[in-house]
Structure 1
Amino acid sequence: MSIPISFKIVMIQDMLDFNINLLELDDDEQVAVYSSVLLSSLIVTSNRLEHLMREIRKINPCITLISEVEANHTSPVFVKRFIESLFFYGALFDCVSDHSADDEFNRKVMESILYSQPIRNIVAAEGKERTVRHVGIDVWRAFFARFGMLEVELSDACFNEAKLLINNFDCADSCMLHVDCKCFVVGWKGVPIFSVSAWKFV
């Protein structure tokens, strides 16, 4: 496409230290923002999440792509959190098991390291100690609206490309992809796993 693209890595110790000046943007530069499961990690520290959103608004990116876990792990009621996490992580374990049938060592590593801490935190921790708090796309829509963001419809071409990618794998029948308003939701055997959405500031 002959489009020059550059990346600048910015290291910060605290999200409150992030600001637009760290990016050293040019006036004629177009900026796109991509966030993958970052925003949900900031839910428990709402001041940092809101600070990040205000700084992104100052950047005024031409497009913001958000990929987040599609689950509700924030309920103050233990039973609801337990059931939600049971279905969600059950689907993830099943997916990993299908993909790693011939690689038991790596499957065990993924299950014990990547998934055990979030499960323990969601189910057993309370108050400020419960740092893993996933919410669904409807909650994010309400949150982004506060910052003047409008959801951009992902095209049929994007959907078809995603389907083609999924169909390259043996598990294509187990992986679901559907449109939720203007975003895509990807799941495993009927259980939503994550959403992909696009946004613009008005």
Structure 2
Amino acid sequence: MAIPFSYCPVKISNMEEIHERLFNVKAGEFVVVYAPVVFGSLLYDPILLRNTINVIRKLRPQILVNSEIEGQHNSPCFANRFVEGLFYYSAYFDCLEAVLRDRNNLRRAKYEEDGKERSCTHYLCGLVGESTIVSNRAWNLFCVLS
């Protein structure tokens, strides 16, 4: 199976520098965009997020891989935030238990500490809008409306 393939990573120091001319896309090429946890990290700046989505749209990718954590953690209602946080962190800590069974593992302790800190800060204390975890429905709407 001789399928021609080339991988052309684009390295930028700041997402404000992203522009479609940085990508050497030739007419007729099959374009795939792999963006793991890129969009969620841009939620703090909606203009930058919109610009990034527009650049990707201009590349006209046949496939876009967007891997983000799914949830609705920005509700103004405490009860909703609490329930969403409970579901999310139950899955988070169950995953740690399944993958890092040794409770004395330093990496596991670090992940657990990070998880506890985020849950208290974002969900229980009510820092609405600070979370970078939104629902798939919100991503779909944002991409359509951008």
What is the CA–CA distance in structure 1 between the aligned matches of 2:91 and 2:9, rounded to whole Å?
Answer: 34
- Report percent identity of matched pairs: 31
Q: How big is each residue's C-alpha offset from its partner over 1:59-84, in whole Å with a ceiling of 9 and x where there is no partner?
A: 01112122221110111234432331
**Counterpart of 2:144?**
145
Q: Which amino acid aligns with 1:42?
A: L
Tell me how far 1:89 sits from its aligned partner.
1.1
**Counterpart of 2:10?**
10
SS at match of 2:68: strand
Residues 13-162 of structure 1 aligned to structure 2 (within 5 Å):
13-102=13-102, 104-105=104-105, 106-113=107-114, 115-123=115-123, 124=125, 126=127, 130=130, 132-147=131-146
TM-score, reference length from structure 2: 0.81
CA distance 1:122–1:2, change in 2 (3 Å): farther
SS at match of 2:5: coil
In the comparison of the two structures, how many residue pairs are matched? 144
Structure with greater strand share of residues:
1
Tell me how far 1:92 sits from its aligned partner.
0.9
Tell me how far 1:9 sits from its aligned partner.
2.7
Q: Which amino acid aligns with 1:7?
A: Y
Tell me how far 1:121 sits from its aligned partner.
4.3
What is the CA–CA distance in structure 2 between the aligned matches of 1:33 and 1:83, rounded to whole Å?
Answer: 33
41-50 or 25-34, larger mean C-alpha shift: 25-34
What is the CA–CA distance in structure 2 between the aligned matches of 1:125 and 1:108, rounded to whole Å?
Answer: 25
CA distance 1:26–1:127, change in 2 (3 Å): same
What is the CA–CA distance in structure 2 between the aligned matches of 1:72 and 1:136, rounded to whole Å?
Answer: 5
Q: How big is each residue's C-alpha offset from its partner over 1:9-54, in whole Å with a ceiling of 9 and x where there is no partner?
A: 3222322210011122223422111222221222221111100011
TM-score, reference length from structure 1: 0.61
C-alpha RMSD of matched pairs (Å): 2.3
CA distance 1:61–1:92, change in 2 (3 Å): same
CA distance 1:5–1:120, change in 2 (3 Å): farther
Residues 183-198 of structure 1 aligned to structure 2 (within 5 Å):
none
Contact 1:122-1:133 at 8 Å conserved across structures: no
What is the CA–CA distance in structure 2 between the aligned matches of 1:127 and 1:92, rounded to whole Å?
Answer: 20
